[in-house]
Amino acid sequence: MSVKRKGNSTVTIFPDWCKGCGICAAFCPAKVMELNDQGKAVVLREEECINCGFCELHCPDFAIMVRPKVNDEIPAVCRAVLEKAARKPKTAASDGAAEKAGSGKQKG
């Protein structure tokens, strides 16, 4: 049984797997998550989480994990997903913008 008490759980979001549908942010009873400017879910108020498990059950992309705070170890399978995301080079948004600015200068 899950213990419904505030501040006893950690919420992890795998940014690579999140498609930004907004179900977690819209239905979360404690408003723990919000969508950021890239349209992906981010955890803003983790201490408000009551461990109801709604987001974990309803995330269609398996991108949210809610665990009790005492058990801090992330399981191997999920860790692989997070590490893969961290290894990836900076996304096209920032690099692309820098390149464009650079090329513009050269032409000018």
Confirm if 42 and 34 have CB atoms less than 8 A apart.
yes
d(Cα 108, Cα 4) in Å, to the nearest integer?
A: 61
What is the amino acid identity at position 106?
A: Q
User: Of residues 1, 60, 91, 101, which one binds other proteins by CB under 8 A?
Assistant: 60
Residue 39 or 102: the one with the smaller Cβ distance to other proteins is: 39
Confirm if 79 and 87 have CB atoms less than 8 A apart.
no
Q: Does 29 bind other proteins (CB under 8 A)?
A: no
Q: Does 61 bind other proteins (CB under 8 A)?
A: yes
Confirm if 44 and 86 have CB atoms less than 8 A apart.
no
Residue 77 or 92: the one with the smaller Cβ distance to other proteins is: 77
User: Of residues 30, 52, 78, 82, which one binds other proteins by CB under 8 A?
Assistant: 78
Q: Which residues of this chain interact with other proteins, rule CB under 8 A? A: 16-23, 26-27, 53, 56-67, 75, 77-78, 80-81
